[in-house]
Structure 1
């Protein structure tokens, strides 16, 4: 029987300018859907796991279209609750070379931002579940969303379900009078697996690698420097069994290096480093890593190195795919893991 993973968070309508157009040039937008935890669920469904996404949606045609899109990718939505007036929107302008991408959010008063604890029956949601995943985006939306997220984590802890989080700090979202450093510690304390990057750990918990400045990478990131981040996170959150840090070296908007480290309290595992020279779409890159990591940890149960390598390879492939979702198969990821990055036509 396949493992069941539940994710919880906001999904939005994504409106992207065509190609590399700027907002001021665009006369039309390409509409897709995306959001951190939904992106993870799509990855897991693609890999053959039983993936369920939980959120709150308004009762309208756009939300219905969104649900249909999730179903198309094999994600279950039977525990979505309905209410509120709108689905959040985000606008994307894709950067090129020295010009960075830009995101403009239009998600205030979205259905999920007005969620309250008690609206979701978590014991029902978690029936038969092996894993629960959330990100730092959800508690940033509102006090109600933070409370509902905490409610879910406590239920998962009580039921013995593995809990993972992606710290995912978004400075533009924390607007309701609380900071990430006030809200996040209680939630992360209930997590078995913690994923972040060096910026997340610093901005949320004041934890940074010794002698390293993230703004000066020039595409080079030394994995060993991040052991201190992992050990500090584990000391702060003793429940955590594994801490993972993604390592992105940004040469320009189209050219990044990409890798990761996983620390289990004893060993620091380091992934191969990929040189991604022609990025198609990096939005959802971290989510594709998380989806690959959850799959890897559930599938290669005694091989953390292989789980990490799967996550990095899956995420490397995501950079070649338009949209938020990582639409790749296990075979494609394992082929890249084996060293075949030729891109030759498969016939």
Structure 2
């Protein structure tokens, strides 16, 4: 029987410059949809799991188009609350080589930013669910969004639903008078699985890996240095059974190294390291990792190493896919896990 996962957060209209054009050059923008938790739901649906996405969207044609897009990817939309005046938007300029990508947000007063506890019936949403996922982006939007997220986590805990978070620190989003360090701890306390990177842990909780600079711009990362981050997070949040750190080495905007570590039951598992030399689109890379991780942990329950390897391979493939969503299959991920990354034409 297929597992059922519920994700909660904001989905946005994504407006991206064509190719590698700068904002100042573009005469048109490519319109798609995306957002951390929606991206995770799409990944899980692609892998054959039942994924429902909960959010709040206005009653207008852009929101309807977004819902149709989610349905196209077999994501459940029955738990989308309707109301508010607008969807959030983000503008993307894709970087190249030494020029980094840029994101400009236009999401103030979006429908979900104005959500309040009680607008979503979480007991109904989480009935028969196996997993609930949220990210640190949602409580960054507003106090109401943070409160609604906490409401969902508490109901999930009461119902025995596994809860995961991607810490996803975005400094440009925390604008309503609260810091991430003030809001996030009580939310993360209810989580069984914590995903983050070295910057998330340092910026939100002041937790640093030993002997490592947070702003890492080289290709080589010693994954063993991050065991201390995992253990510190577990000490701070004793409910957590697994802590996962993504390891990105940024050589330039088109060339990254990519891997991860998973810590559970006092043991550190390390993935192989991928050398991604021609990145098509790295936006949504962390979400694709989370989608792969949830699938892996539910499918290979007794094998944390395989779960981690699936997540890293899935995310590696996402870097070759345009848009927020990771449009790959289980077979394609498993093929890369076996070492087949030649990219030869399949006939």
- Whether these two folds match at TM > 0.5 is yes
Structure 1 unaligned spans of 5+: none
CA distance in 2, matches of 1:267, 1:253: 33
Alpha-carbon shift at residue 217 of structure 1 (Å):
4.1
- Tell me the distance in 2 between the aligned counterparts of 1:213 and 1:265: 27
Looking at structure 2, the residues matched to 260 and 35 of structure 1 have their Cα atoms a distance apart, in angstroms, of 22
Question: Which residue does the alignment assign to 1:67?
Answer: 67
SS of 1:214's partner is: coil
Kept after mapping to 1: 8 A contact 2:216/2:249: no
- How many angstroms apart in 1 are the aligned matches of 2:255 and 2:79? 39
C-alpha deviation, 1:133, in angstroms: 0.1
Question: 1:275-330, CA deviations, whole angstroms, 9 ceiling, x for partnerless residues?
Answer: 00000000000000000000000000100000000000000000000000000000
Paired residue for 1:158? 158
Q: Distance in 2 between matches of 1:121 and 1:74?
A: 22
Shift of 1:134: 0.1
TM-superposition CA deviations, 1:60-93 (whole Å, max 9, x none): 0000000000000010000100000000000000
Would the aligned equivalents of 1:231 and 1:265 in 2 still touch at CA under 8 Å?
no
**1:1-347 alignment, distance < 5 Å:** 1-347=1-347
Counterparts of 1:25 and 1:323, CA distance in 2: 20
Q: Distance in 2 between matches of 1:194 and 1:214?
A: 19
How far apart, in 1, do the equivalents of 2:87 and 2:235 lie?
38
**What's the TM-score once normalised by structure 2's chain length?**
1.00
Give 5+ residue unaligned stretches, structure 2: none
Q: Is the 8 A contact 2:216 2:250 kept in 1?
A: no
Q: Distance in 2 between matches of 1:177 and 1:161?
A: 31
For 1:219 and 1:12, how far apart are their aligned partners in 2? 32
Distance 1:27 1:330 in 2: 38
Equivalent residues of 2:233, 2:243 under 8 A apart: yes
Question: 1:247 is paired with a residue of what secondary structure?
Answer: strand
Displacement of 1:219 after TM fit?
1.1
Residue 251 of structure 1 and its aligned partner are, at CA, apart by 0.1
TM (norm. structure 1) is 1.00
Aligned-residue Cα RMSD (Å) equals 0.5
Please give the secondary structure, in 2, of the residue aligned with 1:221: coil
How far 1:28 moved relative to its partner?
A: 0.2
2: CA distance, partners of 1:216 / 1:302: 33
SS class of match (1:246): strand
* Cα separation, 2, equivalents of 1:82 and 1:343: 43
Aligned length: 347
For residue 265 of structure 1, report the CA deviation from its aligned partner. 3.6
